[in-house]
Amino acid sequence: MITTLFWGVGLLFLLEGIVYLAAPSLVESVVKIVAKTSIQQRRMLGASMALAGTSILCVVKFLS
């Protein structure tokens, strides 16, 4: 269980690093856009991302 957690965190860091390496100006633009959105919209975005992530993990667990 803990190995899977560390694997997931490592994968997250890898993907984040690739994004910052490949398109740092795009990341800056996205941060500016997010800063302009309301707190309610950010909460909905966070909830949607959490739901999508949970769904992906459930599908992966189901298929393996």
pLDDT, residue 37, reads 94
**How confident is the model at residue 1, as a pLDDT?**
75
Q: What is the chain's pLDDT, residue by residue, as a tens digit (64 residues)? A: 788 889 889 999 999 999 999 999 999 999 999 999 999 999 999 999 999 989 988 998 888 7
- CA 17 to the chain's CA centroid: 12
Instruction: Please give the pLDDT value at position 47.
Output: 96
Is residue 27 a contact partner of residue 19, using CB atoms and an 8 Å limit? yes
Output the pLDDT for position 64.
Answer: 79
pLDDT for residue 4: 83
Where exactly are the structural domains of the chain? Answer: 24-64
Spatial distance between the Cα atoms of 32 and 7, rounded to a whole number of angstroms: 30
